[in-house]
């Protein structure tokens, strides 16, 4: 019985120490929004938009999905820069991200196949309210990769079954 009590006491002590450490780490986080972004990691999924429209679109992701390439590339809109509509907020890109977004939108417009639904994955890091962009990947491209990977996995499984 004494051993059982010692085990329980040790477990409680570890649990309390873990909870205190967790509380202290939360105190160091600068802000709720920023902490949320940092906890999500370094990749975010959302809709690419120009800043002029993005702030308005952040309130309604259905509207963000309908935001067009043509609108984002209008001179007045494009001059404001670009960002990501993500979790009901607009997150502005750094200069590098603006350049990458503009290049991608130009390609999409030239291709002519996609008019709206500018869903992308952005990797990078947050510095204050600014998204420091490392890459912008269209979700369609990611889905293609996943499908190809899935097809390859299925082929391997079928090949294994035959053997």
Residue 27 lies in a domain: no
Question: How many domains does one find in the chain?
Answer: 1
Q: Enumerate residue ranges in the chain where pLDDT < 70.
A: 1-41, 140-163
Two tokens at 32? 């709720």
Residue 85 lies in a domain: yes
Residue 162 lies in a domain: no
Residue 65 lies in a domain: yes
Question: What pLDDT is stored for residue 149 in this prediction?
Answer: 56
Residue 6 lies in a domain: no
Residue 158 lies in a domain: no
Residue 52: burial class (beta carbons within 10 Å; 0-12, 13-18, 19+): middle
């Amino acid at each position: 019985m004494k051993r059982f009590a010692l085990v329980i006491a040790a477990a409680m002590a570890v649990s309390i120490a873990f909870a205190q450490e967790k509380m202290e780490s939360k105190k160091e986080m600068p802000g709720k929004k920023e902490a949320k972004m940092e906890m999500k990691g370094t990749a975010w999924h959302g809709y690419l938009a120009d800043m002029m429209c993005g702030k308005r679109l952040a309130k309604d992701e259905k509207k963000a999905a309908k935001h067009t390439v043509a609108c984002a590339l209008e001179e007045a809109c494009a001059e404001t820069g670009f960002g990501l509509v993500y979790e009901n907020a607009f997150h502005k890109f750094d200069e590098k991200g603006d350049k990458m977004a503009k290049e991608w939108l130009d390609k999409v417009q030239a291709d002519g196949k996609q008019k709206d639904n500018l869903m992308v994955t952005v990797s990078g890091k947050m510095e204050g309210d600014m998204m420091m962009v490392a890459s912008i990947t269209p979700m369609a491209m990611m889905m293609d990769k996943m499908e190809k990977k899935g097809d390859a996995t299925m082929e391997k499984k079928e090949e294994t079954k035959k053997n």
